[in-house]
Structure 1
Amino acid sequence: MSTRKYRIDAERGRLVLDRLEIPFPRSRSGRIAAGTLLIGGGFLGFLPILGFWMVPAGLLVLSHDLSIVRRRRRRIAVWWRKRYPQVKRAG
Structure 2
Amino acid sequence: MRIGSHRIRLPESRMLRMGLGILLVIGGILGFLPILGFWMIPLGLLILSHDLPTVRRWRRRLAVRFGRRNGDRNGNRK
- Which bracket does the TM-score occupy, shorter chain normalised? 0.7 to 0.9
Give distance in 2, aligned partners of 1:77 and 1:19: 16
1:63 shift after superposition: 0.6
Aligned residue in 2 for 1:74: 60
Counterpart AA for 1:54: M
User: Larger % of strand: which?
Assistant: 1
Counterpart pick for 1:85 among 65, 70, 76 = 70
Aligned length: 73
1:80 shift after superposition: 2.2
Q: Which blocks of at least 5 consecutive residues in structure 2 are unaligned? A: 72-76
Q: TM-score, normalised by structure 1?
A: 0.67
Counterpart AA for 1:36: I
Q: TM-score, normalised by structure 2?
A: 0.77
Secondary structure of the residue aligned to 2:27 is helix
Q: CA RMSD in A?
A: 2.2
Identity of aligned residues (%): 53
